[in-house]
């Protein structure tokens, strides 16, 4: 059958005034909406910087494998991104290395919930408390944030862009812990406010967007080179704004998210056997003791191949069979085009190995059990052929 299962992305919800907006983090955080997740992250960095006015060249620690938007968000505030390696075979930051690279100039640490797998906020928050740093949870790839259960992060970032857990075709949110909210008002107020209107043009855009997610349109769209679908690009952050986001849109997005099937559990079951061939499933409770709520839909399902060659073979076979499998960022941050001039080249063996072996599989609402069986068969076959 002609068509392709898109790698990521859920349908844009219809604003629905019947569902009241209730935010699980409201007791601990003040919520401020922004133009995008990157903008929210940049404001978070600005707040962290403002609370240490004595620091001349503020440094922000981020993982060496990750979204280049982290770099843009920090640079936009005149900060310096400082990279830290990942633990072996894991999306988690190497916490011993985090402690080592903290300097008097460090103002914040950004922990990222990778593809919906919660980062170890308890470990990171202990480091931050010991060294008087701000902990920022980047929950752009996870909903709800880890901190909505346990308010460990000082600031939390969410994204409502395409390919994020709640897709509103744009927008983001910054959650500010109530203790620091008052002191952040001046910074927040310095950014202009724009309004998201869900009128007819928005509804039309939503209609087209959702239509294009089906297998046949995606298959065709992916072949259009100038669209650059699936590419990781470094972009400078040019403008930052706050956003007036209609409550009925977000509440409907949260409701739809809650109704989504827990596809990752199917994967956990179907792919378990490939671990005997040296593959590793990420985010399973046994392998990582990830903490957080295991029953939260994942953004993509992440596995590590035994080596780079098998990863690339699996990528090719899966894509040939109509599955939008992806290597995701594919490179560590210092090797992404545009970032390499900014960050100095240092070895990050954990992150480099991770980047060379990571394979992500679709985890959205259109993945069928038969797709997962097909993927499992393809990967198992590669394992056995060896
Ligand atoms: C997508 C993403 C961002 C940026 O969000 P946008 O809304 O696209 O600006 C930040 N951090 C992570 C981890 C992301 O995946």
- Residue corresponding to tokens 């669209």: 227
- Residue 204 has phi, psi (to 5 degrees) of -65, -45
For ligand 1, atom 5, which residue shows the shortest CA distance?
37
Nearest-atom number in ligand 1 for the CA of 162 is 8
Mapping DSSP to helix (H, G, I), strand (E, B) and coil, where does residue 109 land? strand
Mutational test site, ligand 1, from 42, 69, 170, 253, max ligand atoms within 8 Å of CB = 69
Q: How far apart are CA 18 and CA 39, in angstroms?
A: 30
Which residue has tokens 């995606």?
A: 218
Residue 35 contacts residue 243 (beta carbons within 8 Å): yes
Other Cβ atoms less than 10 A from the Cβ of 308: the count is 14
Residue 1: predicted pLDDT = 67
By the 8 A CB rule, do 360 and 300 touch? yes
Atom from ligand 1 closest to the CA of residue 163? 1
How far apart are alpha carbons 114 and 67 in whole angstroms?
A: 10
Determine the atom of ligand 1 nearest the C-alpha atom of 39. Answer: 9
Q: Using a 6 Å cutoff on CB, does residue 112 contact ligand 1? A: yes
Per-residue pLDDT, 224: 86
Using alpha carbons, select from 374, 380, 381, 383 the residue that is nearest to residue 4: 374
Please tell me the predicted confidence (pLDDT) of residue 252. Answer: 95
Question: How far, rounded to the nearest angstrom, does the alpha carbon of residue 256 sit from its chain's CA centroid?
Answer: 19
Strands (E), the chain: 29-34, 59-63, 80-84, 106-112, 134-138, 155-159, 172-177, 193-195, 242-244, 280-281, 300-304, 358-362
Tokens linked to 326? 């992806």
Task: Read off φ and ψ for residue 252, nearest 5 degrees.
Answer: -70, -35
Identify the pLDDT of residue 287: 45
State the virtual CA torsion across 322, 113, 170, 185 in degrees, nearest 10.
Answer: 180
Burial of residue 342 (CB within 10 Å: 0-12, 13-18, 19+) is: middle
Mutate to test the pocket of ligand 1, among 43, 140, 167 (most ligand atoms within 8 A of CB): 140
- Residue 233: the pLDDT is 85
* Ligand 1 and 141: CB distance under 6 A: yes
Q: How many CB atoms lie within 10 A of CB 21?
A: 16
Our mutation pick for probing the ligand 1 site, out of 114, 159, 239, counting the most ligand atoms within 8 A of Cβ, is: 159
Helices (H), strands (E): how many in the chain? 13, 12
* Local confidence pLDDT in tens for the 386 residues of the chain: 689 999 999 999 999 888 788 899 999 999 999 999 999 999 999 999 999 999 999 999 999 999 999 999 999 999 999 999 999 999 999 999 999 999 999 999 999 999 999 999 999 999 999 999 999 999 999 999 999 989 999 999 999 999 999 999 999 999 999 999 999 999 999 999 999 999 999 999 999 999 999 999 999 999 887 777 777 789 999 999 999 999 999 999 999 999 999 999 999 999 999 999 999 999 986 544 455 455 799 999 999 999 999 999 999 999 999 999 999 999 999 999 888 888 877 899 999 999 999 999 999 999 999 999 999 999 999 977 66
Residues 10, 298: Cα–Cα separation, whole Å: 11
240 by DSSP, 3-state: which?
Answer: coil
Peptide linkage before 144 cis (omega within 30 of 0): yes
């Amino acid at each position: 059958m002609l068509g392709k299962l898109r790698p990521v992305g859920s349908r844009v919800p219809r604003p629905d005034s019947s569902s009241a907006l209730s935010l699980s983090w409201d007791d601990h955080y003040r919520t401020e909406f922004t133009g995008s997740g990157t903008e929210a992250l940049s404001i978070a960095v600005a707040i962290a910087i403002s609370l240490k006015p004595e620091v001349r060249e503020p440094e922000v620690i981020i993982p060496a494998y990750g979204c280049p938007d982290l770099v843009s968000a920090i640079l936009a505030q005149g900060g310096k991104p400082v990279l830290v390696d990942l633990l072996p075979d894991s999306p988690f930051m190497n916490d011993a290395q985090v402690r080592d690279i903290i300097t008097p100039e460090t103002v914040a640490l950004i922990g990222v919930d990778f593809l919906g797998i919660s980062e170890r906020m308890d470990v990171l928050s202990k480091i931050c408390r010991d060294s008087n740093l701000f902990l920022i949870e980047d929950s752009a790839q996870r909903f709800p944030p880890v901190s909505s259960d346990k308010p460990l992060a000082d600031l939390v970032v969410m994204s409502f862009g395409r390919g994020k857990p709640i897709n509103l075709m744009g927008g983001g949110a910054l959650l500010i812990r109530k203790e620091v909210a008052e002191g952040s008002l001046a910074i927040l107020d310095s950014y202009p406010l724009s309004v998201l209107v869900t009128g007819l043009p928005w509804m039309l855009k939503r209609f087209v967007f959702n239509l294009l997610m089906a297998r046949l349109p995606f298959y065709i769209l992916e072949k259009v080179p100038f669209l650059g679908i699936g590419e990781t690009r470094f972009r400078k952050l040019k403008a930052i704004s706050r956003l007036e986001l209609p409550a009925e849109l977000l509440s409907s997005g949260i409701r739809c998210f809650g109704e989504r099937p827990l596809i990752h559990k199917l994967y956990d079951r179907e792919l378990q056997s490939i671990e005997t061939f040296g593959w590793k499933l990420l985010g399973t409770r046994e392998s990582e003791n990830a903490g957080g709520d295991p029953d939260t839909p994942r953004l993509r399902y992440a596995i590590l191949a035994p080596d780079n060659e098998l990863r690339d073979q699996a990528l090719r076979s899966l894509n040939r069979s109509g599955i939008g499998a992806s290597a995701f960022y594919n490179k560590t941050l210092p090797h992404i085009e545009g970032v390499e001039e900014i960050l100095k080249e240092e070895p990050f063996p954990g992150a480099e190995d991770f980047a060379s072996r990571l394979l992500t599989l679709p985890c959205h609402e259109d993945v069928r059990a038969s797709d997962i069986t097909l993927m499992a068969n393809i990967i198992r076959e590669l394992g056995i052929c060896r």
